[in-house]
A and B are shown apart, each in its own frame.
Chain A
Amino acid sequence: MSDPVRTNRHEGAPKTAPRSAAPEEPPEEPPPKASGETQGKVSECLPEHAPDTAPEVVQMRPGRMPRSWRTETKPHPFCPGCGHGIILRALGEAIDDLGIAARTVYGCDIGCSLLSWNLFNLDTVQTHHGRTIPVIVGIKRARPDLVGIAYMGDGGAYAIGAQHLVSAAIRNEKITVIVCNNTVYAMTGGQLAPTTLSGQKTTTTPYGRDPLETGLPVSGPELVTCIRTEGVYAARGTVANFRQLKLFIKRALENQMAGRGLSFVEALSTCPTNWRTGPKETWRFLEHEMGKVFRIGEFSRDEAEGKAEGQERREGRLSSPAEAGIPRGGNEGARANH
């Protein structure tokens, strides 16, 4: 299982060539040797880690992978211009900065996120579509000392696995959920996703998404903070702002490590393959079209605090109906009125 077999959708591509990267992503270091020749000491393959001395410079050092990345499985298999690599780099650097590689368990979903099953030097479970949250919940509840990360796409988080996200928020699971929002189902061929923009053409909305028929794009962090705020960390970043995205992810991990509650980060991302866009148009869609619909920032505490009435009830301080003087199985309002 630990054998670094590559999952490569581009079998035809020469394995030793550096992959062409998105314009916003500096080119990565070519793999040290052809795969299979790097079976020696793992530490020899690791790049030297430079200390973060220049905070003003975007911390994407060309040629430097995060220490928590597995060099043997690079270059990663994502398409040129895909945002997954940027999000996972931000996650990798956040893990490095926090020094938690030894106690992190990473879970990835079905969809393009599954291609990260051997991307990290982290214990990893690749699960089913939408089911990464419950797997990580099981791991975290069994081993609260571990840091559990559930990484998935917008379809996994907001459609097929929506009940798990909602319930993780209700129970305030002490895990970190990171969602890549690229407005489409990418691996299956660019279908309508819960996050598809109004009017956006996809393979299943060939004439554009009609909100009357298929609704409006869902807002993940807003959804999470509607359910619960206390202890929750929720934020939305973008691959267009790496430093901020990394900061959000880092805070989300810290929130989990402090045992406060659910940590949730959505990252606006790109899918030029399914958007059928060139570099310029890809960037414009991310920055302008998606930026108009999805608000970047942190959504937790300050924003939601004190907003809702009856917060005490919502935070579950009434431990049981019996203790609160409510008949078992009853609804207090209904009983009071009858």
Chain B
Amino acid sequence: MRVVEREQRRFMTGNEVVARAALAAGADMMCGYPITPQNEIMHTWAVLAREHGLGFLQTEDELSAGFATIGAVMAGRKAFSATAGPGNVLMQEPISMAEMMRIPAVWIIQQRGGPSTATVIYSQQEVRLTCLGGNGEGHRIVYSTSSHQDLFDYTIKAFSTAWRTRFPTFVLGDGYQGKMLEALTLYNPEDRGVPLATPEPFVGKPGTPGLDRPPAHFRNTFSIEDELYEALTRNIRDYEEMAPSVVEFEKDGCEDAEVVLVAHGIVARAAREAAEVLRARGIRAGYFRPITLRPFPAAALADAVRRADRLLVVESAHGQLAGLVREALYGRAAVNVRTYLRPGVGITAEEIVDAVEREASSGEERHGSKTATG
């Protein structure tokens, strides 16, 4: 579906960007349930769906939205859903089924404050839930975006990744990104040679089952442990095999850095700016941003902090990214892991600069063994 005549600069909200990106990626069905701050994705899609003859269903809750999305995918659609906060909690049930049954589908998560209803505005508190939610191993792919251009690029990419790998794929944004107006370049993926996936139906293929072809039998329940183990072993192998082709990160100035700022999503923009300010003030600061939170760019991060004395994890949550960082670095790098945690609130470059300078001036903080678990 061509979303623009030709490449053009536009100024719009992140939620509208997501809906247009889904259209550009060839998505043809959305099932969703209202929850702030993702509502405008549905609003925009409802209009686009009518204009282009695509599917849209507002369901009775996120459970239904997620399961109807899976149903549509099984019937051959490129379907997606969007949610946030408590909706993301409910959505974990259908997502875990997609994970078990290897159903490709795309979920857009615009994070809001938590736990519970909390705020409708912003946080980075849905990292754990999105990466590892459900009663399984977290076989998902999670892209964390930090700009409107990211929202456009990675929503398009999420569809290709999901259908290529058959793992549920997420675009993890937040309310600031969803509601904010920002400039970006809209383009048609085919004009830039961006590959798009072609969905295949899982059920309802031509022919009579049992006569012309075997019936397609999909299940997520197993009678005995060994059957499950076999299925999981397959999934784990597939996940590990595809991970290197999916993992993404961004870094700057890490080669000679004494301190590396690690942040994802919209906070990464503040971290990048803070690194520049710190350099200008004589502190050799680097910047590392995991774009895929799952699979996590562990080797790249270990490499980026090789020469650093310490790294500072900055996030609008109380240690969710820091947990991923510690796990990634344990046994890979000897570096002090420090944190600047502001759960549920935004973080500016100035605050990060202050945090680094405060720490730099306090000698005590820098003692202690070099350990990734510090």
Binding site for B on A (CB under 8 A): 1-2, 5, 7-9, 11, 42-43, 46, 68, 70, 101-103, 105, 110, 114, 117-118, 120-128, 131, 133-143, 146, 163-164, 166-167
In angstroms, Cα B78 to Cα A138, docked, is 12
Interface 0/1 of B216-255, CB less than 8 Å to A:
1111110110010000000000000000000000000000
In angstroms, Cα B79 to Cα A120, docked, is 27
Contacts of A166 in B (CB 8 A): 60
Name the contact of B79 in the complex, choosing from A2, A138, A140 (C-beta under 8 A): A138
Interface-centre pick from A118, A136, A143 (highest chain B CB count, 10 A): A143
Contacts of A136 in B (CB 8 A): 71
Name the contact of B221 in the complex, choosing from A7, A101, A120, A121 (C-beta under 8 A): A7
Does any Cβ of A come within 8 Å of B208's Cβ? yes
Known: A131-B93, A134-B64. A139 touches B69 (CB 8 A): no
Chain B residue nearest in CB terms to A124? B217
The 3 A-B residue pairs whose C-beta atoms are closest, nearest first, are A138-B71, A121-B210, A138-B68
Contacts of B207 in A (CB 8 A): 102
Name the contact of A7 in the complex, choosing from B60, B73, B79, B223 (C-beta under 8 A): B223
Interface 0/1 of B39-65, CB less than 8 Å to A:
000000000000000010101110111
Q: Are B67 and A138 in contact (CB under 8 A)?
A: yes
Q: Are B216 and A2 in contact (CB under 8 A)?
A: yes
Binding site for A on B (CB under 8 A): 29, 31, 55, 57, 59-61, 63-77, 79, 93-94, 97, 201-205, 207-211, 214-221, 223-224, 227
Q: Are A1 and B218 in contact (CB under 8 A)?
A: yes
Q: Are B60 and A167 in contact (CB under 8 A)?
A: yes
Contacts of B72 in A (CB 8 A): 138-139, 141-142
Chain A residue nearest in CB terms to B69? A138
In angstroms, Cα B219 to Cα A141, docked, is 21
Chain B residue nearest in CB terms to A100? B208
Q: Are A124 and B220 in contact (CB under 8 A)?
A: no
- For the residues of A in contact with B, the DSSP-based class is mixed
Nearest chain B CB to A315 CB, angstrom units: 19
Name the contact of A142 in the complex, choosing from B29, B65, B67, B93 (C-beta under 8 A): B29
In angstroms, Cα B77 to Cα A106, docked, is 18
Nearest chain A CB to B96 CB, angstrom units: 8
Interface-centre pick from A2, A43, A125 (highest chain B CB count, 10 A): A125
Contacts of A131 in B (CB 8 A): 63-64, 67, 93-94, 97
Q: Are B74 and A114 in contact (CB under 8 A)?
A: no
Q: Are B70 and A114 in contact (CB under 8 A)?
A: no
Chain A residue nearest in CB terms to B227? A5
Q: Are A139 and B210 in contact (CB under 8 A)?
A: no
7 sample A-B contacts, Cβ–Cβ < 8 Å, listed by A number: A1-B217, A101-B209, A102-B209, A125-B203, A126-B217, A126-B220, A134-B59
Name the contact of B57 in the complex, choosing from A7, A124, A141 (C-beta under 8 A): A141
Contacts of A102 in B (CB 8 A): 207-209
Q: Are A101 and B74 in contact (CB under 8 A)?
A: no
Nearest chain A CB to B42 CB, angstrom units: 16
In angstroms, Cα B59 to Cα A139, docked, is 14
Nearest chain A CB to B87 CB, angstrom units: 15
Name the contact of A105 in the complex, choosing from B66, B204, B210 (C-beta under 8 A): B204
In angstroms, Cα B57 to Cα A122, docked, is 26
Q: Are B223 and A118 in contact (CB under 8 A)?
A: no
| Extra A-B contacts (8), CB below 8 Å, given A7-B221, A124-B215 | A1-B218, A1-B219, A127-B67, A138-B69, A139-B203, A142-B71, A142-B72, A143-B75
Q: Are B204 and A123 in contact (CB under 8 A)?
A: yes
Contacts of A1 in B (CB 8 A): 216-219
Contacts of B94 in A (CB 8 A): 128, 131
Name the contact of A141 in the complex, choosing from B55, B65, B202, B209 (C-beta under 8 A): B55
In angstroms, Cα B72 to Cα A136, docked, is 9
Nearest chain B CB to A106 CB, angstrom units: 9
Q: Are B218 and A124 in contact (CB under 8 A)?
A: yes
In angstroms, Cα B205 to Cα A136, docked, is 16
Known: A42-B210, A101-B209, A139-B72. A134 touches B218 (CB 8 A): no
Known: A103-B204, A135-B67, A137-B71. A143 touches B220 (CB 8 A): no
Nearest chain B CB to A85 CB, angstrom units: 18
Q: Are A117 and B221 in contact (CB under 8 A)?
A: yes
Contacts of B76 in A (CB 8 A): 142-143
Known: A42-B210, A135-B67. A120 touches B215 (CB 8 A): yes
Known: A131-B93, A138-B70. A146 touches B75 (CB 8 A): yes
